[in-house]
Amino acid sequence: MNFSIKKIGILTIAVALLAEDCKVREKEKPADTSWLEEITISQLQQGYREGRFTVKDVVTAYIDRIEKIDRSGPTLNSVITINPDALTIAEELDAELSGGKIRGPMHGIPVILKDNIDTHDKMPNSAGATVLRNSFPETDSYIAMKLREAGAVILGKSNLSEWANFRGMHSTSGWSGVGGLTKNPYVLDRNPCGSSSGSGVAVSANLCMIAIGTETNGSIVCPSNNNGIVGLKPTVGLLSRSGIIPISFTQDTPGPMGRTVEDVAICLGTLTGVDTSDSKSVASEGKYLTDYSKYLKKEGLNGKRIGVLKGSASFHYRVDSLFARAVEDVKKMGGTIIEIDPPDESAYENASWQVLLYEFKDGLNKYLQRLGSNAPVKNLKELIEFNKSDPVELRYFDQKIFELAEEKGDLNSAEYRESLAKMLKATREDGIDKLMNENRLDAIMAPTGSPAWKTDLVLGDHYMGGSSSLAAISGYPAISVPMGFIDNLPVGVTFFGRAWSEPLLIEIAYGYEQATKHRKAPKYLLSDN
């Protein structure tokens, strides 16, 4: 009798231990997060209202996806840092929802920031550079502050082309000393473009709802092109640059990147506002909106006059074919196409290059000085010396751009002032404004770029062509939308126009997107050969 009882007791314990082991194994098993794929902000908000999931559920699921897809599996390597406070923030936002408080359409929406945007938390802001690996800003950037006020969850920081791809010649987009190499989610040996590489990849692979990128020339629209998403580069000044590691005071801007025009428009409205610490932002007074969703019109192209830059797709015959179809789609949606001659690039390209060199030196030195006593280097000159002794930084490409910038004088230099005036006149008064006024245009369209090239750490990027420069150098807005695929690789179309014309561009882009529906989720192919 005693033996039987002991035997039963041992068996009971064994079953209990087995059950506990199964629970542990179940916890270790990656959760099914497929329900997040291609979900929109509106659908997420509806789920919160209906109680189908909580903010914590969503944040947990996105973190699981980052662990499963970004850090293992395909190993996209798009996220440098996951916010250690993300779940705590999610719980706080859930408590607000339970109490009937909803801050707005971004409440509980997970957002990833490019790792050149300051956050005052447990995440460093590195620009992907080893010298800033442990640089913790003392204040939020204006953009981070606005996202927190809107109830967004800053989920983490994304990898980027180091120093926003303004360091050396023959560089490879998507590589940084801190983050390593980011991969294209459609075909893993292809390049994600940059410099907002991780932002584009994270959105495309459904690792977040929205990402914030930055652009000086192409750094939002090109990753949007290569990763099959929507990217909006606003008018310079619509969104504050305070707390963003700079390249150019004249051309820099942050901007939202998402899977749909609707999501991008919703996010944009939460980021606007006058920031007196950024004089470009002060110019947005009376021009910015806090809600762009009313411009999401399916008939957005009807009656619009769209200029097409002649020869803008000539860098690749298959892009030319896709673009020709896009032009026909615009016509079917009630748009009128007017072919126009592009401005002479020689009138502004070298001038812009000189402006970038001068403004980078000035802006970076000021940013490093603001870091205070904790700054590992105090200026560009010290940074150049640091890189010479670092075992990682100069492994794949040089710092020639740093060296050229260091040779420049201050912003009172005649060369700088003349170059600035020349480039703005050529791209504004004699550029976009002239083209649009003479042809009574609502917007201009052109292919965003080529299909993604194979990543090459030896020879650098094999960039074939694109349309970012005119809008970027003028400081005017542009939005890239998926235009189709060449084999397994996405290609985008860009609509751009006058300063402060974001409402009109959103209307046009939404109309095109809704009529064509070219966005497809990536499949993480090893190679397209």
Q: What is the mean pLDDT of the chain?
A: 94
Task: Indicate the pairing of strand 175-176 with strand 153-158.
Answer: unpaired
Could you say which of 114, 183, 304, 361 is catalytic? 114
pLDDT at 9: 42
Judged against a pLDDT cut of 50, whether residue 27 lies above it is answered with: no
The span from the CA of 498 to the CA of 431, in Å, is 10
Rounded (10°) CA dihedral 45, 50, 55, 59: -80
Judged against a pLDDT cut of 70, whether residue 167 lies above it is answered with: yes
- Whether 120 maps to a domain, the answer reads yes
pLDDT at 342: 93
Could you say which of 219, 242, 248, 352 is catalytic? 219
CATH number for position 134: 3.90.1300.10
- Residue 365 corresponds to which tokens in the numbers above? 């030195």
- Whether 285 maps to a domain, the answer reads yes
In DSSP terms, 53 is beta-bridged to none
- Residue 285 corresponds to which tokens in the numbers above? 């007074």
Do you find a cis peptide bond into 4, omega within 30 degrees of 0? no
Judged against a pLDDT cut of 90, whether residue 7 lies above it is answered with: no
8 A C-beta contact, residue 217 and residue 359: no
% residues pLDDT > 90 (the chain) = 91
The answer, as to whether pTM is greater than 0.85, is yes
- Whether 385 maps to a domain, the answer reads no
H, E, C per residue of 454-483? ECCCCCCCCCCCECCHHHHHHCCCEEEEEE
The span from the CA of 327 to the CA of 453, in Å, is 25
Could you say which of 78, 126, 171, 195 is catalytic? 195
195 annotated active-site: yes
Who contacts 472 (Cβ-Cβ below 8 Å, separation ≥6)? 215, 216, 217, 218, 233, 251, 478
- Whether 192 maps to a domain, the answer reads yes
The span from the CA of 342 to the CA of 319, in Å, is 18
pLDDT at 15: 35
pLDDT at 529: 64
310 annotated active-site: no
Average pLDDT rounded to a whole number, residues 420-432: 98
The span from the CA of 79 to the CA of 83, in Å, is 10
What would the pLDDT profile of 154-166 be if each residue is shown by its tens digit?
A: 999 999 999 999 9
Average pLDDT rounded to a whole number, residues 203-221: 98
Judged against a pLDDT cut of 60, whether residue 348 lies above it is answered with: yes
pLDDT at 290: 98
pLDDT at 223: 98
What would the pLDDT profile of 71-106 be if each residue is shown by its tens digit?
A: 999 999 999 999 999 999 999 999 999 999 999 999
Q: Domain range spanning residue 441? A: 38-354+411-516
- Whether 506 maps to a domain, the answer reads yes
Average pLDDT rounded to a whole number, residues 281-308: 98
Average pLDDT rounded to a whole number, residues 404-413: 98
219 annotated active-site: yes
Who contacts 4 (Cβ-Cβ below 8 Å, separation ≥6)? none
pLDDT at 30: 47
What is the end-to-end Cα distance of the chain in Å, rounded?
71
What would the pLDDT profile of 496-506 be if each residue is shown by its tens digit?
A: 999 999 999 99
Judged against a pLDDT cut of 50, whether residue 429 lies above it is answered with: yes
285 — pLDDT class (breaks 50, 70, 90): very high
Number of domains in the chain: 1
- Whether 51 maps to a domain, the answer reads yes
- Whether 28 maps to a domain, the answer reads no
- Whether 44 maps to a domain, the answer reads yes
The span from the CA of 86 to the CA of 510, in Å, is 31
Angle among Cα 446, 215, 432 to the nearest 5 degrees reads: 40
pLDDT at 13: 35
In DSSP terms, 489 is beta-bridged to 486
Judged against a pLDDT cut of 60, whether residue 25 lies above it is answered with: no
296-321 CB burial, b ≥16 within 10 A, e <16: beeebbeebebbbbeebbeebeebee
| CA dist 56 → 32, 35, 70, 104, 351 (Å) | 15, 15, 20, 17, 49
